[in-house]
Amino acid sequence: MTDTSREYAAALDADDPLASLRDAFVRDDPELIYLDGNSLGRLPKTTAERIASVVRDEWGADLIRSWSHWADVPYRVGDLIGETLLGAAGGQVIVSDSTTVNLYKLAVAALDARRGRNVIVTDDDNFPTDRYVLEGLAAQRGLELRVLHTDIDEGLDLGALREAVGPDTALVSLSHVAYRSGALLDLAAVTEIVHEAGALVLWDLCHSAGSVPVRLDASGADLAVGCTYKYLNGGPGSPAFLYVRKELQDLRQPIWGWFGQRDQFAMGPAYDPAPGIGRFLVGTPPITAIAAVEEGVRLLAEAGIGRLRAKGQALTGYLIDLAAVWLPDLALATPADPKRRGSHVALRHPEAWRMAQAMIADRVIPDYRTPDRLRLGPAPISTSFTEVWDGLDRLRTIVADRAYERFSSEPARVT
């Protein structure tokens, strides 16, 4: 029996060991309920000052001389992400480019390492940019892109994956947590299936990094990429990260740039890739933006990924329980088993688009995902149980009053 009282939410908050970390984030409008932390994380209070310091003291005052320490920044922040959130020992994660560019770089590296195999495997529930990158590579290289059909409420079926891979498979690329449903894949189990076929696996960690423990090293995963603007709170379009397992760091990525060059300032005549993870850098790293990422990740490190995971499961479980009681017309479109989902929840309804607009008008920020999903992402580090209660409470009023009917229906672009 779900206790739907607001007092119960307050009691959950009182027991929350991460509650005080909510104060580490800017919260201009105390009435705003933010349930889209898995799309763009909140602004940490220290980030504005950190950015100002990099801009004023490092760029403004020290100018070009700052490159003597800036050169380490992509490595240092990569290690911080890897060691605290991804279960990756040092020297395997670096901050660089966008998620999409990193996916491209690592997918090419993997395909080159498996020449003679002509199949790339992914699923139709993978994030669009992942599917497009793989589609492009398959077209450019004359390979087959094998797109598995996935139930978008439940996530990829491992039996179907096992059937789909074989001696023809070069690369399998999947999202660890599905962007719509939040379905969480078993990293080690998938990796084992892929490795049994002799292929390489490339993970998209965008929706898992910072919300679920990733355990890259322990799982045997080969390659991974992820973004820093969701749970890592790095800011809009902040630079992405990539992981290459130590044993695979002799792989070559295709964009040969001066920051991937051994002995960079010799500016020699031929490209000679740096040893280690540095060869996966390309151009000049965005220093101020990476510094902002470091601030966000420090907070997650302070929270601890274990406690973030526990709170994420509790928050999403609570949200699912309230929705079951208050919103019977909205179907759960996320695995009910907390071990099988990340930190966001999808609810299905034909009027999801208009409901999202009505929520925003009522200062509850959800996300909408095609075709008929309300996506609710209460970021564990910055969201309280009371906020989940208030958000769902406002939504149930919107649904009960049919207040969403005064909003326009789905925009033409998503029909």
Tell me the binding residues. 99-100, 127-130, 204, 207, 229, 258, 284
Estimate the crossing angle of helix 6-14 against helix 385-400, to 10 degrees: 160
Residues numbered 159-198 forming contacts with a second copy, rule: CB under 8 A: none
Question: Active-site residue 204, yes or no?
Answer: yes
Please give the sequence-ordered ranges of beta strands (E in DSSP) within 56-195, or none if there are none. Answer: 93-95, 119-123, 144-148, 169-175
229 binds a second copy (CB under 8 A): yes
Question: Active-site residue 280, yes or no?
Answer: no
CB 230 within 8 A of CB 76: no
26 binds a second copy (CB under 8 A): yes
Known binding-site residues for pyridoxal 5'-phosphate equal: 99-100, 127-130, 204, 207, 229, 258, 284
Residues numbered 255-274 forming contacts with a second copy, rule: CB under 8 A: 255-261, 263-271
Strands 144-148 and 119-123: parallel
Residue 369: closest CA among 148, 181, 151 = 181
Strands 241-244 and 93-95: antiparallel
Which of 34, 75, 229, 231 is labelled catalytic?
229
CB 200 within 8 A of CB 194: yes
Applying CB under 8 A, which of residues 239, 278, 342, 378 lies at the interface with a second copy?
239
- Among 57-65, 302-310, 312-320, 328-336, the segment contacting a second copy (CB under 8 A): 57-65
Instruction: Kindly state the tokens that stand for 237.
Output: 């379009």
In the numeric block, the tokens 């909140």 are attached to 42
The secondary element (H helix, E strand) that includes residue 225 is strand 223-226
Please give the DSSP secondary-structure letter assigned to residue 42. P
Question: Active-site residue 229, yes or no?
Answer: yes
Instruction: Kindly state the tokens that stand for 305.
Output: 């990924």
289 binds a second copy (CB under 8 A): yes
218 binds a second copy (CB under 8 A): no
Residues numbered 63-122 forming contacts with a second copy, rule: CB under 8 A: 63-67, 70, 97-101, 104
Residue 86: closest CA among 323, 297, 293 = 297
Question: Active-site residue 243, yes or no?
Answer: no
Least distance from a second copy to the Cβ atom of residue 75, Å: 14
374 binds a second copy (CB under 8 A): no
Looking at the Cβ atoms of 159 and 269, the one nearer to a second copy is: 269
Least distance from a second copy to the Cβ atom of residue 292, Å: 8
Looking at the Cβ atoms of 73 and 85, the one nearer to a second copy is: 73
Residues numbered 333-372 forming contacts with a second copy, rule: CB under 8 A: 360, 365, 367, 369-370
Applying CB under 8 A, which of residues 9, 18, 39, 404 lies at the interface with a second copy?
39
Helix (H, G, I), strand (E, B) or coil at 170: strand
Which of 25, 34, 75, 127 is labelled catalytic?
127
- Among 227-235, 298-306, 333-341, 385-393, the segment contacting a second copy (CB under 8 A): 227-235
DSSP string across 129-147: HHHHHHHHHHHHHT-EEEE
> Rounded to whole angstroms, how far apart are CA atoms 84 and 233?
15
Asked if the bond preceding 167 is cis, omega within 30° of 0, the reply is no
Least distance from a second copy to the Cβ atom of residue 11, Å: 28
Estimate the crossing angle of helix 352-361 against helix 385-400, to 10 degrees: 120
- Among 7-15, 161-169, 280-288, 313-321, the segment contacting a second copy (CB under 8 A): 280-288
Strands 241-244 and 223-226: antiparallel
Least distance from a second copy to the Cβ atom of residue 14, Å: 26
Greatest Cα-to-Cα distance within the chain, rounded to the nearest angstrom = 71
- Among 6-14, 77-85, 182-190, 231-239, the segment contacting a second copy (CB under 8 A): 231-239
Burial 201-227 (b: 16+ CB within 10 A, else e): bbbbbbbbbbbbbbebbebebbbbbbb
Least distance from a second copy to the Cβ atom of residue 120, Å: 13
Applying CB under 8 A, which of residues 128, 167, 275, 350 lies at the interface with a second copy?
128
First to last CA, the chain: 39
Question: Active-site residue 321, yes or no?
Answer: no
14 binds a second copy (CB under 8 A): no
Applying CB under 8 A, which of residues 59, 248, 301, 331 lies at the interface with a second copy?
59
Catalytic residue numbers?
127, 204, 229-230, 375
